[in-house]
Amino acid sequence: MVMPSSDWVELNFGPQHPSMHGVLRLKAKLDGEIVKEIEPVIGYLHRNAEKICEMTYFNDNLIYFDRMDYVGAMNMEVGYLEAAEKLLDISISERVKWIRVIMAELSRIAAHLVWAGAYGLDLGMLTPFFHCFIEREKILTIFTEVSGSRQEVNYMCVGGVYQDITEKAINEIEDFVREFPKRLKDIFNMLMKNDIFLSRTKGIGILDKETAISYGVTGPMLRASGVEYDVRKAEPYLVYDQVNFDIPVSYKGDNLARVLVRFEEMRQSLKIVEQAVKKIPDGPYFNPKAKKSLMIRMRGEGDVYARTESSKGEFGVYIVGDGGVKPYRVRVRSPTLRNLSVLPELAKDVMIADMIAISGTLDLVFGEIDR
Amino acid sequence: MIEVKEPKKKIPVVGLISGMLTVSKYIFKKPVTVQYPEQKPELPDRFRFRIFLKLDDCVGCTLCEQVCPNHSINMQKVDRENPRNKRKIYPDVNFGTCTVCRNCQEICPTEAIYLDKEFETARTRNSFTYSPEELALKENEVIK
Amino acid sequence: MNILLRLQELFSPLGHLASYILAYIFESLFLVIFVTISLIVMIYVFRKYMARVQQRIGPNRVGKFGLLQLIADALKLVGKENILPKNRDDLPYKLAPAMVFVSLVLAFTILPYGDFFYLGSFTVTHSEVTIILLFGIIAIMPIGEVLAGISSANKYALLGALRAVAKDVSFEIPMMLSVLAIVMMASARTPSSLSLESIISSEFLPYGILEPIGLFVFFISMVARASYTPFDLGESDSELVSGHSTEYSGMRFGMFYMGMFGSIFLGSLIVSILYLGGPSGPLESSLGFIWLIIKAAILVLISFTVWLSMPRIRIDKFINFGWKYLIPIAMINLILAGIITLGWGL
């Protein structure tokens, strides 16, 4: 029996709902258990970050970028600095580039670990979450070791990094690189050996190549749909052209493909970190042109767009400077917003449980969507 | 470019049991949690939280006020003899909005304002703003 | 000699009828205390087990090793305000949690517990048809969940109730079919094959060894009945907030919570009685109760591991599984049991 659309039940998932990561609200129209239509409503975490960035100095803006993708803050800093340093015409040393690569990749692992744990919770698995967070805590300890804060690190600054990476931190990173694969394998086995998990992910929420491209989906989601695109390979920034790594691709485009791509990305990031720790050269960690009291006197003119690969996808920053000490306009291309916009397409005529499983694979972080 | 492979098909129940074994093997591992109030966590050397101020070193240059992204720092008049600080202005800090970005420490020309490891600032209070004199004191000496 | 008769002897100066009534009342009280204590122990063990699997410490603040944590939690729940939804259907709303909890305790009164040293058995119900009674009472519990879901006037709760109905229908038939196989096998050896006690006493091998398929089907049905993670469709927390218990607070919520843990324990007891020989063990018969508890405890730990390591199954997959796999398997089991019974009869 087909119910007329007027008999559909309208149900709000979120903003306070156990499985809506952050504050997503989904207006769903249900026909019994089947989701007929779905409309994401965003804006509950809007903090006006882009406008605030026009009121602070170039260097101070970093703390607002930390709070965009708060689970992988280093990636956001790299993204902003790629643009800001181009605009301010400040070069960075080789050592700084390598430090930034290490931090960005560790941050990517940390972000993917949060996602993996939360995805287990979405499907009702309690245990992988804690194992993911135990490993994430080790990364956050490394961040504290180099920067002084756990999550909103504010480690990098225009022209370098605030504090040089220490020998102790490098040892900790090496320990992490050595010990992490064991736990990663266990987490992977907890999920992948489970037939129920496979039945919840395989063949569900298939995103085909054309739809993905037309919606501007990037990152692991796009790669899971069979597009071999990664900014780190397509347009290498920092020193990504000097490290050896592969980008994982799947041609299935379903939930399972996205899960597998993210797990493989963690392994590849680990590979990058392993190489970078060995290759890191000596040199200054700070460009003297941008040091100390000059922090509030850097002026930039013109406009710059820079894109980087954050853990969620292509993260673009567009900065316009009018020659003043503060940017005239800052605009962020948030990858998660584009990834979210494809959800109504994916979650059409699926069960409620599948809708949750699909929205889990989008890896939503609301600091970045609402900004 | 590598293509990720889907896990191989197995006999149904075997996978479930091996997943259960993977989970239950951790029962023999040591817990990683720290029992906080009794057992202090080992903080890395660079861990920083509270802002301190050396009143004698502060020259009242207002750089920290300018660089603070959240405007948590405001300059206050303090009646205090300091030949280096002619204007007699010192920063206060509102910890309600401070994000511990450490920009004030970075920019301070005389290293008068700095952050330290102390992080247990919880207590009954009327205001989150620490006056310059309070910033100079250790956390357990500050009385609100 | 069981506890009931001992109590009756104690009260015998009061006359025949009065002494039996008093003996039943005291024994029921004893049973309620037993159920409560075992629930407290079980929730404590679950929390500690979950914590250790996740490399945490678990409750350790209230009392030594956190032993009093659950009592503190229960006191907190009792002390909480009962928030009632405005559009509720009043009577079913208030009846539902009581229904879940009372039927749980009732089900415990029917099981045969075996002897405990000189005290004897504290089985309350002595009847020829305990199996029918037991599964009759077990069938009441899901009704409480459905009532809760429908009466609390909440869309999540309603969806939870609908799922609970669909789930119950699809697992109860295979469950009863596999019980039928046991009754059939017992009927070859004992005239009162509907009594749990005579089913146990007439077996020469635990039924779980004779019909492992039945054990498998029945265990899965018990997991589904207790509704924890692979099959917690009624209250799947990441989809329907908390399903049928969304609108409940305070002790009413506590009853649902204890109902779930009680169901795990009850399910383990039933599985060990029906399939693993129950109170019978290798040593002398006065240890029957201990054997039963050990068997149940192992099953409880297995249930906890299942709970902690599995994601939630989708509702349509579960119904498919129930109707397309469990029922045919249970039928095959029934046929096999028939063949075994024939051989046994010879």
Return d(Cα A59, Cα A286) in angstroms, integer. Answer: 13
Confidence of residue C105 (pLDDT cuts 50, 70, 90): confident
Token code pair at residue B113:
């304002």
Q: Does C164 touch chain A (CB under 8 A)?
A: no
**C55 contacts in A (CB within 8 Å)?**
130-131, 134
Q: Shortest CA distance to C319 belongs to which of C224, C235, C194?
A: C224
Nearest to A60 among B3, B7, B67 (CB): B67
**C159 contacts in A (CB within 8 Å)?**
30, 33, 352
Token code pair at residue C7:
């109590």
| Optimal mutation site among A293, A297, A326, A361, interface B, most CBs of chain B within 10 A | A293
pLDDT for residue B41: 80
Confidence of residue C345 (pLDDT cuts 50, 70, 90): low
Count of domains for chain C: 1
Inspect the interface and report whether the beta carbons of B22 and A60 lie closer than 8 Å: no
pLDDT for residue C240: 79
pLDDT for residue B135: 81
Token code pair at residue A238:
């920092």
B-chain residue closest to C305, CA distance = B20
Is C212 a member of any domain?
Answer: yes
Count of domains for chain A: 1
Q: Tens digits of per-residue pLDDT, A176-203?
A: 888 888 888 888 888 888 888 888 888 8
Confidence of residue A292 (pLDDT cuts 50, 70, 90): low
When pLDDT is averaged across residues B121-136 and rounded to a whole number, the result is 78
Name the A residues in 205-264 with CB < 8 Å from any C CB: none
Q: Does B103 touch chain A (CB under 8 A)?
A: yes
DSSP 8-state assignment for residue A205: S
Token code pair at residue A178:
């050595």
When pLDDT is averaged across residues C161-170 and rounded to a whole number, the result is 85
Nearest to B67 among A57, A144, A190 (CB): A57
pLDDT for residue C315: 85
DSSP 8-state assignment for residue A281: P
Confidence of residue A1 (pLDDT cuts 50, 70, 90): low
Return d(Cα B117, Cα C59) in angstroms, integer. Answer: 29
Confidence of residue B143 (pLDDT cuts 50, 70, 90): low
Helix (H) or strand (E) holding A23: none
- The Cα of C298 is separated from the nearest Cα of chain B by a number of Å equal to 14
When pLDDT is averaged across residues C272-279 and rounded to a whole number, the result is 81
Return d(Cα A139, Cα A173) in angstroms, integer. Answer: 8
Instruction: Tell whether the model's pLDDT for residue C334 goes beyond 60.
Output: yes
Name, in order, each residue with C-beta under 8 angstroms of C230's C-beta and a sequence gap of 6 or more: A124, A196, C223, C306, C307, C310, C311, C312, C313
Q: Does C159 touch chain A (CB under 8 A)?
A: yes
Confidence of residue A13 (pLDDT cuts 50, 70, 90): confident
Confidence of residue A4 (pLDDT cuts 50, 70, 90): low
Return d(Cα A74, Cα A347) in angstroms, integer. Answer: 32
Give the CA distances from residue C266 to residues B125, C36, C326, in Å, rounded to whole numbers and listed in that order: 52, 12, 21
Return d(Cα A141, Cα A148) in angstroms, integer. Answer: 9
Q: Does A293 touch chain B (CB under 8 A)?
A: yes
Is C7 a member of any domain?
Answer: no
Return d(Cα B111, Cα B94) in angstroms, integer. Answer: 19
- The Cα of A369 is separated from the nearest Cα of chain C by a number of Å equal to 22
Tokens 């000596």 belong to which residue? Answer: A282
**B32 contacts in C (CB within 8 Å)?**
55-56
φ, ψ (nearest 5 deg) of residue C289: -60, -45
CB C254 within 8 A of CB C262: no
Q: Tens digits of per-residue pLDDT, C7-19?
A: 777 777 777 788 8
Q: Shortest CA distance to C331 belongs to which of C168, C103, C176?
A: C176
Q: Tens digits of per-residue pLDDT, A151-171?
A: 888 888 888 888 888 888 888
When pLDDT is averaged across residues C307-315 and rounded to a whole number, the result is 85
Q: Tens digits of per-residue pLDDT, C178-228?
A: 888 888 888 877 777 788 878 877 777 777 777 888 888 888 888 888 888
Give the number of other CB atoms < 10 A from CB of residue A109: 26
DSSP 8-state assignment for residue C114: -
Average pLDDT, chain B: 81
CB A69 within 8 A of CB A152: no
Instruction: Tell whether the model's pLDDT for residue C344 goes beyond 70.
Output: no
**A263 contacts in B (CB within 8 Å)?**
4
Q: Tens digits of per-residue pLDDT, B61-119?
A: 888 888 888 888 888 888 888 888 778 888 888 888 888 888 888 888 888 888 888 88
Confidence of residue C1 (pLDDT cuts 50, 70, 90): low
B-chain residue closest to C307, CA distance = B20
- The Cα of C263 is separated from the nearest Cα of chain A by a number of Å equal to 19
Inspect the interface and report whether the beta carbons of B24 and C306 lie closer than 8 Å: no
Return d(Cα B43, Cα B41) in angstroms, integer. Answer: 6
Domain with A214 in it: 49-370
B-chain residue closest to A61, CA distance = B69
- Angle A284-A289-A293 from CA coordinates, rounded to 5°: 110
- Radius of gyration (C-alpha) of chain B in whole angstroms: 25
- Residue A302: CATH number of its domain: 1.10.645.10
Is C101 a member of any domain?
Answer: yes
Return d(Cα A185, Cα C53) in angstroms, integer. Answer: 16
Domain with C136 in it: 91-345
Token code pair at residue B95:
């910890």
- The Cα of A145 is separated from the nearest Cα of chain C by a number of Å equal to 24
Name the B residues in 29-58 with CB < 8 Å from any A CB: 32, 43-48
Confidence of residue C285 (pLDDT cuts 50, 70, 90): low
Q: What is the full DSSP assignment across A208-256?
A: -HHHHHHTT--THHHHHTT----HHHHS--TTGGGS----EE-SS-SHH
Neighbours of chain B (3+ CB pairs under 8 A): A, C
Please state the three-class secondary structure of chain B as a single string: CEECCCCCCCCHHHHHHHHHHHHHHHHHCCCCCCCCCCCCCCCCCCCCCEEEECCCCCCCCCHHHHHCCCCCEEEEECCCCCCCCCCCEEEEEECCCCCCCCHHHHHCCCCCEEEECCCCCCCCCCCCEECHHHHHCCHHHCCC
Q: Which of A132-136, B15-19, C86-90 has the highest average model confidence (pLDDT)?
A: A132-136
Name the A residues in 167-186 with CB < 8 Å from any B CB: 168, 186
Name the B residues in 62-101 with CB < 8 Å from any A CB: 63, 66-70, 99-101
Token code pair at residue B71:
């405007």
pLDDT for residue A18: 72
Q: At what angle do helices A94-122 and A255-279 cross, to 10 degrees?
A: 150
CB A326 within 8 A of CB A54: yes
Return d(Cα A369, Cα A360) in angstroms, integer. Answer: 15
pLDDT for residue C284: 64
When pLDDT is averaged across residues C295-315 and rounded to a whole number, the result is 87
Return d(Cα C41, Cα A185) in angstroms, integer. Answer: 34
**A188 contacts in C (CB within 8 Å)?**
none
Inspect the interface and report whether the beta carbons of B3 and A59 lie closer than 8 Å: no
pLDDT for residue A349: 84
Neighbours of chain C (3+ CB pairs under 8 A): A, B
**Percentage, residues of chain C above pLDDT 90:** 0
Is A211 a member of any domain?
Answer: yes
Is A250 a member of any domain?
Answer: yes
pLDDT for residue B118: 81
CB A158 within 8 A of CB A81: yes
Q: Does C239 touch chain A (CB under 8 A)?
A: yes
CB A87 within 8 A of CB A325: no
Return d(Cα B58, Cα B61) in angstroms, integer. Answer: 8
Nearest to B46 among A163, A247, A263 (CB): A163
Q: Does B22 touch chain C (CB under 8 A)?
A: yes
Instruction: Tell whether the model's pLDDT for residue A28 goes beyond 60.
Output: yes
Is A38 a member of any domain?
Answer: no
Instruction: Tell whether the model's pLDDT for residue C120 goes beyond 80.
Output: no
Inspect the interface and report whether the beta carbons of B31 and C60 lie closer than 8 Å: no
Q: Tens digits of per-residue pLDDT, A247-290?
A: 888 888 888 888 888 888 888 888 888 888 888 888 888 877 76
Average pLDDT, chain C: 82
pLDDT for residue A42: 85
Q: List chain B domain ranges.
A: 50-141
**Is B50-141 a CATH 3.30.70.3270 domain?**
yes
Q: Does A146 touch chain B (CB under 8 A)?
A: yes
Q: Are strands B2-3 and A248-249 parallel, antiparallel or unpaired?
A: parallel
Q: Does C232 touch chain A (CB under 8 A)?
A: yes
Tokens 């398929």 belong to which residue? Answer: C213
Token code pair at residue A258:
């996205």
Return d(Cα A7, Cα A20) in angstroms, integer. Answer: 26
Return d(Cα A366, Cα A363) in angstroms, integer. Answer: 10
Return d(Cα C186, Cα C179) in angstroms, integer. Answer: 11
Return d(Cα A223, Cα A314) in angstroms, integer. Answer: 12
| Optimal mutation site among A54, A126, A154, interface B, most CBs of chain B within 10 A | A154
Give the number of other CB atoms < 10 A from CB of residue A316: 20
Q: Tens digits of per-residue pLDDT, A329-357?
A: 888 888 888 888 888 888 888 888 888 88
